[in-house]
A and B are shown apart, each in its own frame.
Chain A
Amino acid sequence: VDPHAEPERGGDEQVGGPGHEHRRRQGGLQDVLKTNLGPKGTIKMLVGGAGDIKLTKDGNTLLKEMQIQNPTAIMIARTAVAQDDTSGDGTTSTVLFIGELMKMSERCIEEGTHPRFLVDGFEVAKKATLEFLETFKTPVVIGDQPDREILKMVARTTLRTKLYEGLADQLTDIVVNAVLCIRQSDQPIDLFMVEIMHMRHKFDVDTRLIEGLVLDHGSRHPDMKRRAENCYILTANVSLEYEKSEINAGFFYSNAEQREKMVTAERRQVDERVQKIIELKNKVCAGTDKNFVVINQKGIDPPSLDLLARAGIIALRRAKRRNMERLVLACGGEAINSVEGMTEDCLGWAGLVYEHVLGEEKYTFVENVKNPHSCTILIKGPNDHTIAQIKDAVRDGLRSVKNTVEDEAVVLGAGAFEMAARKHLIDNVKKTVKGRAQLGVGAFADALLVIPKTLAENSGLDTQDVIVSLENEHDRGLVVGLNHNTGEPVDPEMEGIYDNYSVKRQIVNSGPIIASQLLLVDEVIRAGRNMRKPT
């Protein structure tokens, strides 16, 4: 055995018993994230090593930025990250739920219950809750014309927990429209087709959805047009610059005239390609007021740019690869890889192309496209941390809409599901379980309450009061959630508070698994520190 290995035994054996250490650690993580939950949660300020500021209310972002070192906390944080990857939301809830499960178990363990029984109980309760979720969910019919209202409600519920209300409501429309825009009936939704572009400009409420594309670079030639209407868009992946040959070649000449010839010959190939594009432009645009825009993934060197500019073509070089895909979806046409045999069918179309300059940065807007299947969410904000905050929120909002479309179901929010599930567990499930596993089911049921409890706490309400009144309503057979403004029970259906089905499912699924794993660990043995490194 490594002599430096130090067993980390869980605290005071008599009081805590095995696993106590974890629960303590977990408690710390829970404390940090607790205040994040819900629309009334507070903001955390993270300051990076270089003094950069990040403001967030999003559990996932927080966990990512916090640089956690403790093994137990890392385990929980990973679960939360997994939660984020699969469903895009609910990270805070996951951490809270795990924390609460541990807290409830601790109480039982202190009374002498062996963790094994609790774990068995969790297993039963988890299964029952998932079954209950199936009956509890509200199905949503997603046809060719999805119900915008319900999508908006889901998006709003998610966004309001990340941003302040006014902005959240504005983003709600944006994300719902964005997802519906890129949705193609027989294909899975690819959220990458929504470009998220940010500009440090004006205020956060100037964030908007652009049906089209925004590129974060401009044309590199001073004489190109800054603004053009009725444009053909040529999406290309053709190198329009002179490339050195692979082999080590050299020219030999003996007078200046010969050299001049070499110079032109060298460029001829590139020039021919440019000429082809210009010919196409002349063919489709001649005699009309239409314009021509080339967006190239590869480079365009200054002489080529010059030729294009003279022909009245706007050319953008070095576009991002993913933007090439999006361009084709937004404007139509196809991305060409060779200038041979181009026809009008290869071209896309946009009503308006213009350049916007912000200080040093240039942006090119491709707008007013026909029938787009790709769009851009243009985030604006006065400073970087606002932009980052909105960006995270938009990502989560998009996911929540996507999830709804894919799940074809939503779950009532505002703590209503948790209350109902608890009642179901206590009333129906607990009695069917034999032996001490009942305690586990009970702990699980009580742990579910952490969501409404924290919601109430963050809104400055009396936790006990709220829970009791909510329980009363549920006992009377009404499904209610918490109105965080008044502290009164409220019907989430009336208020339009809906959560994602897959988010809830994931929480219920992963929470008990991690909690069980942690409960069954009784000793942490850490390898000794590396001797070569001075400690």
Chain B
Amino acid sequence: MVGYGIQSMLKDGHKHLSGLDEAVLKNIGAGRELSAITRTSLGPNGMNKMVINHLDKLFITNDAATIVNELEVQHPAAKLLVLAARAQQEEIGDGANLTISFAGELLEKAEELIRMGLHPSEIIIGYTKAINKTLEILDDLVEKGSENMDVRNREEVVLRMKSAVASKQFGQEDVLCPLVADACIQVCPQNPGNFNVDNVRVAKLVGGGLHNSSVVRGMVLKNDAVGSIKKVEKVKVAVFAGGVDTSATETKGTVLIHSAEQLENYAKTEEAKVEELIKSVADSGAKVIVSGAAVGDMALHFCERYKLMVLKVSSKFELRRFCRTTGAIALLKLSRPNVDELGYADYVSVEEIGGARVTVVKNEEGGNSVATVVLRGSTDSILDDLERAVDDGVNTYKSMCRDSRIIPGAAATEIELAKRLKEFSLKETGLDQYAIAKFGESFEMVPRTLSENAGLGAMEIISSLYAEHAAGNVKVGIDLEKGACEDASIMKIWDLYVTKSFALKYSADAVCTVLRVDQIIMAKPAGGPRPPQQGDI
């Protein structure tokens, strides 16, 4: 006889969890544990994690988005937090760690509330009220005058970018930020709102050190030129998407030959044809031919003869970027390009950087084109991590192009939020005031973690922060180096308003979703090879 209840109706292997203890508290536990992992990586003094994913690829990073992505979280509730972090990463490109850590803290507080006897639905109401209030307060905390910024002013850009990059690569932000800022400003279009992250490329080259890194106005292709001409300056560029070779019909063609003479002639006509084409390209003024597909031997021969540099770019997207860099229009077939279809590059040259041959394409004048940050570092994993920091920086730039408002960093904002939410909760009459108070308390997690990660006494610092804020110094945050309180505007630590507001909103959303669930029905995990077991979550 089959058992009673829902279990009897489902297929074998289904799991059904319901009720407060089985579902809600378990979910909370899972979320909390996930956030415990990422929490130690929060802030500039955060620790790195060594993650080995199922493909045995090694990651050394403190970028929460990467960590949780590679963790392959199985638990459904923890997965909700991961999804929130991912959404944050896609939308803003930074602040994923704050999303998870804060959500974990909120869940922990929710558990306390449940143990106190509150119903999850009351907590949800309280949390929802609190997040709305938080966003209001956040609006209020925006630094005056920051909504109008010149996104082409390097100083201002660096100022806003620094905290994002510093949290990934502490100590190197003074080198990285100007690089990223330079690259971003170069490619920033007329209307900064249209800034495209894709226009800032990263080329990673092993060898040297971070101090050898540089910004190239243009592109760095990671391959050699095809022909023997390796360096040209101030040239016109012709781009062919379809490859540089003899043309072919779609339908299969057969060469009809009756005699040996014809065979000879055929080869000659073929040659003549190619020569004619290449000559026409050369006549148009182009000095560089870029091919999106194979370059035929014969075509190459004629290119050499007409002193054309030949580059091969096999990726379609790379080719498009190339077109953007030089302003060329890609032609489908090998033919004589019009003047307006030609692009222009100041400098195309094959260079040897750290043992790798790369082709550098520079275009100093093309305002709205592509810039590349050439990163140097001793190992691949360091380069990967640097790249993530650069990506975060670029994304921050994108966000600030859309909304340049800033708020004090270094946990100053969090303490102020905690303080004001506490005041707000006292004015509420219902049961949700407990939830609002706890929501406010959760903000203490940020200064606590920051100081814990920096090896400072958390309680002491939080209490002195509160004292400062009570005295009306709303911009006072932690100075991690001195281990004391300091005004964020003096330390020049600012966070972007959008990053914070999205992160808080995503985590509150995720937490409310976790709390709303009271039953979980899990299907039997699908078959197939199991990934190697890792620290179960």
Query: Which A residues are within 8 Å of any B CB, using their own CB?
Result: 24-25, 27-29, 31-32, 35, 40, 42-51, 53, 55, 65-70, 73, 164, 200-204, 222-223, 242, 244-245, 249-257, 259-260, 262-263, 266, 302-303, 306, 359, 382-386, 460
| 8 shortest interchain CB distances as A-B pairs | A49-B526, A382-B87, A255-B269, A256-B273, A383-B83, A47-B522, A256-B269, A251-B253
Contact check, A303 vs B332: say whether CB atoms are below 8 A apart.
yes
Query: How far is the CB of B442 from the nearest CB of chain A, in Å?
Result: 20
Q: Judge whether B437 is part of the interface by a CB distance below 8 angstroms.
A: no
Query: How far is the CB of A304 from the nearest CB of chain B, in Å?
Result: 10
CA distance A92 to B8 in the complex (A): 20
Contact check, B87 vs A223: say whether CB atoms are below 8 A apart.
no
Contact check, A260 vs B254: say whether CB atoms are below 8 A apart.
no
Residues of B within 8 A of A359 (CB): 90
Contact check, A35 vs B518: say whether CB atoms are below 8 A apart.
yes
CA distance A249 to B251 in the complex (A): 7
1/0 per residue B299-342: CB within 8 Å of A? 00000000000000000000010010000011011000000000
Contact check, A302 vs B332: say whether CB atoms are below 8 A apart.
yes
Given contacts A45-B521, A51-B74, A201-B91, contact A67 B14 (CB under 8 A): yes
Q: Judge whether B144 is part of the interface by a CB distance below 8 angstroms.
A: no
Contact check, A35 vs B9: say whether CB atoms are below 8 A apart.
no
Given contacts A31-B6, A45-B517, A255-B266, contact A40 B246 (CB under 8 A): no
CA distance A303 to B14 in the complex (A): 54
Residues of A within 8 A of B9 (CB): 25, 28-29, 66, 68-70, 73
Contact check, A382 vs B76: say whether CB atoms are below 8 A apart.
no
Show 27 residue pairs from A and B whose CB-CB distance is below 8 angstroms, ordered by the A residue.
Answer: A24-B4, A28-B9, A31-B5, A35-B519, A40-B121, A42-B516, A45-B517, A47-B520, A47-B521, A49-B523, A51-B74, A51-B79, A69-B9, A69-B11, A70-B2, A164-B516, A200-B90, A222-B330, A223-B329, A251-B252, A252-B253, A252-B254, A254-B262, A255-B270, A260-B247, A382-B83, A382-B509
> Which B residues from 202 to 260 make CB contacts under 8 A with A?
241-242, 246-258
Residues of A within 8 A of B323 (CB): 222
Residue of B nearest to A243 (CB): B250
Q: Judge whether B84 is part of the interface by a CB distance below 8 angstroms.
A: yes
CA distance A302 to B332 in the complex (A): 8
Contact check, A256 vs B249: say whether CB atoms are below 8 A apart.
no
Residue of B nearest to A248 (CB): B252
Contact check, B523 vs A45: say whether CB atoms are below 8 A apart.
no
Q: Judge whether B524 is part of the interface by a CB distance below 8 angstroms.
A: yes
Residues of A within 8 A of B513 (CB): 43, 55, 386
Residue of A nearest to B121 (CB): A40
Point out the residue from B6, B265, B520, B526 that lies within 8 Å of A255, measured CB to CB.
B265
CA distance A31 to B505 in the complex (A): 34
Residues of A within 8 A of B332 (CB): 302-303, 306
CA distance A310 to B483 in the complex (A): 63
Query: Which of A31, A46, A51, A260: most chain B CB closer than 10 A?
Result: A51
Point out the residue from B272, B330, B517 that lies within 8 Å of A43, measured CB to CB.
B517
Point out the residue from A28, A53, A303, A460 that lies within 8 Å of B80, measured CB to CB.
A53
Query: Which of A50, A201, A222: most chain B CB closer than 10 A?
Result: A222
Contact check, A53 vs B84: say whether CB atoms are below 8 A apart.
no
Contact check, A263 vs B505: say whether CB atoms are below 8 A apart.
no
* 15 new A-B contacts at CB < 8 Å, known A43-B516, A262-B253: A24-B4, A28-B9, A29-B6, A35-B518, A42-B519, A45-B520, A51-B76, A70-B8, A244-B250, A252-B254, A253-B255, A255-B265, A256-B266, A302-B242, A359-B90
Residues of A within 8 A of B14 (CB): 67
Query: Which of B87, B119, B249: most chain A CB closer than 10 A?
Result: B249
Residue of B nearest to A458 (CB): B121
CA distance A24 to B248 in the complex (A): 73
Q: Judge whether B525 is part of the interface by a CB distance below 8 angstroms.
A: yes
CA distance A242 to B332 in the complex (A): 15
CA distance A259 to B247 in the complex (A): 8
Per DSSP, are chain A's interface residues mostly helix, strand or loop, or mixed?
A: mixed
Residue of B nearest to A252 (CB): B256
Contact check, A259 vs B505: say whether CB atoms are below 8 A apart.
no
Residue of A nearest to B86 (CB): A383
Residues of B within 8 A of A382 (CB): 83-84, 87, 91, 506, 509
Residues of A within 8 A of B255 (CB): 252-254
Contact check, A254 vs B522: say whether CB atoms are below 8 A apart.
no
Given contacts A49-B526, A73-B9, A202-B91, contact A44 B330 (CB under 8 A): no
Contact check, B509 vs A256: say whether CB atoms are below 8 A apart.
no
Residue of A nearest to B523 (CB): A49
Contact check, B84 vs A383: say whether CB atoms are below 8 A apart.
yes
Query: How far is the CB of A498 from the nearest CB of chain B, in Å?
Result: 25
Residues of A within 8 A of B2 (CB): 70
Q: Judge whether B37 is part of the interface by a CB distance below 8 angstroms.
A: no
Contact check, B251 vs A245: say whether CB atoms are below 8 A apart.
yes
Residues of A within 8 A of B521 (CB): 32, 44-47, 65-66
Contact check, A200 vs B121: say whether CB atoms are below 8 A apart.
no
1/0 per residue B494-537: CB within 8 Å of A? 00000000000110010001001111111111100000000000
Q: Judge whether B10 is part of the interface by a CB distance below 8 angstroms.
A: yes
Query: How far is the CB of A268 from the nearest CB of chain B, in Å?
Result: 12
CA distance A28 to B3 in the complex (A): 10
Residues of B within 8 A of A201 (CB): 91
Contact check, B247 vs A254: say whether CB atoms are below 8 A apart.
no
Given contacts A42-B517, A70-B8, A383-B84, contact A250 B256 (CB under 8 A): no
Residues of B within 8 A of A255 (CB): 265-266, 269-270
Residues of A within 8 A of B23 (CB): 45
Query: How far is the CB of B183 from the nearest CB of chain A, in Å?
Result: 21
Contact check, B247 vs A69: say whether CB atoms are below 8 A apart.
no
CA distance A29 to B4 in the complex (A): 11
Contact check, B76 vs A47: say whether CB atoms are below 8 A apart.
yes
CA distance A253 to B254 in the complex (A): 7
CA distance A51 to B520 in the complex (A): 12
Residues of A within 8 A of B257 (CB): 254
Query: How far is the CB of B41 from the nearest CB of chain A, in Å?
Result: 22
Contact check, B5 vs A53: say whether CB atoms are below 8 A apart.
no
Residues of B within 8 A of A257 (CB): 269, 273
CA distance A302 to B243 in the complex (A): 14
Query: How far is the CB of B330 from the nearest CB of chain A, in Å?
Result: 7
Query: How far is the CB of A127 from the nearest CB of chain B, in Å?
Result: 32
CA distance A40 to B124 in the complex (A): 12
Query: How far is the CB of B225 from the nearest CB of chain A, in Å?
Result: 24
Point out the residue from B6, B76, B526 that lies within 8 Å of A53, measured CB to CB.
B76
1/0 per residue B419-449: CB within 8 Å of A? 0000000000000000000000000000000
Query: How far is the CB of B513 from the nearest CB of chain A, in Å?
Result: 7
Residue of B nearest to A74 (CB): B9
Residue of A nearest to B88 (CB): A382
Contact check, A44 vs B520: say whether CB atoms are below 8 A apart.
yes
CA distance A485 to B250 in the complex (A): 71
Query: How far is the CB of A106 from the nearest CB of chain B, in Å?
Result: 15
Residue of B nearest to A307 (CB): B332
Residue of A nearest to B270 (CB): A256
Query: How far is the CB of A497 from the nearest CB of chain B, in Å?
Result: 20
Residues of A within 8 A of B256 (CB): 252-254
Query: How far is the CB of A172 from the nearest CB of chain B, in Å?
Result: 19
CA distance A46 to B506 in the complex (A): 21
Contact check, B254 vs A251: say whether CB atoms are below 8 A apart.
yes
CA distance A531 to B260 in the complex (A): 73
CA distance A200 to B84 in the complex (A): 12
CA distance A242 to B132 in the complex (A): 57
Residues of A within 8 A of B273 (CB): 256-257, 260
Residues of A within 8 A of B523 (CB): 46-49, 67
CA distance A474 to B10 in the complex (A): 41
Residues of B within 8 A of A460 (CB): 119, 121
Contact check, B262 vs A251: say whether CB atoms are below 8 A apart.
no
CA distance A68 to B121 in the complex (A): 29
CA distance A32 to B519 in the complex (A): 9
Residues of A within 8 A of B246 (CB): 256
Residues of B within 8 A of A24 (CB): 4
